[in-house]
Structure 1
Amino acid sequence: MDSDTTVLAKATFAGGCFWCTEAYFERLKGVETVISGYSGGKKGNPSYQEVSNGKSEHAEAVQVYYDSTQISYQELLEVFFATHDPTTLNRQGPDYGKQYRSIVFYRTPHEKQLTEQYIKQLEDAGTYKNAIVTYVQPFKRFWPAEGYHQDYYKNNPDDPYVVSVARPKVRKFEDSYRDKLKPEYVR
């Protein structure tokens, strides 16, 4: 981590492969650092192998460190729900398994309330064809993933998964959220 995260607010989300989720959030103005990791399971300090084979019960997640004077928790929720399919249980695109489930890990009663209200708003508006299956769970613990997972999208531009799955999604995100992007990500 390059910045001092002790003065920043934190939000933790699981929305499929953390390589994509990390790439979305790190592009936003007001977001200082995004860490890929694991949350929502029982085993302490799980490895990628343990998470991938379902033995730890964790989900691939990201921890977002942000300046709440520049971007709100509500705005982070809106990005989270817009950048993955919250109606598919244990699956995002080609990735399937419990480690790819959709979860908002709230830290405060207010975050829980905002999340539940936003889900209701999306459902009432008929935003999705199917019901939202995103879990809303209290935050307990976040375990950073192995170093090679951090900034994976940026550091591995030629990886076949990045080229075929992540890049099209990140480009679509950049086009849709141009006004919320850090200047270096505006194309």
Structure 2
Amino acid sequence: MAIRRQDILAAAQRILSEYGLADLTMRRLAAELDVQPGALYWHVPNKQALLAELADDLLARVPEPSSRRRWDRQLTQLATDLRTTLLGQRDGAEVVSASRASSLDTSHLGKRIVEIVQAGGHTHAHASASRDALLHFVIGYTFDEQSHALMAEHGAAPARFGDSDAAYAAALSVVIAGVRAPTAGRAAPRPAG
């Protein structure tokens, strides 16, 4: 039976959802599809490319913030929705992080962040730095949440108490304040001497 690229991605998604990223191997994926591992490489050159496609699919689920809102509120909404989307997928933050590290992702989310920040009157350089800071913050924060939850589930770490959404919102407000700040993105003054 011939397999299609869509079949591979659907099977990878099932493995990821049921077992997690550590168990998503090309060998396991081939077994899930009842094919030899070599058959996968006609469609996906390697695991990094597979993760990039899974990440792009995940990031495409992040809703577009309302353009009626002020630019910084759009950023807050986008970052909140990104976290929610990542938390909705087992190991979602790790998948997106791996994809970004390999520079194989093709998501337009970063471009959208730059556009929103520039609409707030900031330079392209500031908007690009803001994109990097915001994405690293959200992905890293969520990666920590998902990793800790898995460790707690297996008894390797104590459960966290408190309102995780409120803690995230407070930390995000600090990042957004940095993006909003007029001095952000400028070189620090050199010390005298």
Tell me the TM-score range normalised by the shorter chain. Answer: under 0.3
TM-score by length of 2: 0.27
Q: Which has the larger radius of gyration?
A: 2
TM-score by length of 1: 0.28
Q: Which has the higher helix share?
A: 2
Higher RCO (CA 8 Å, separation ≥ 6 residues): 1
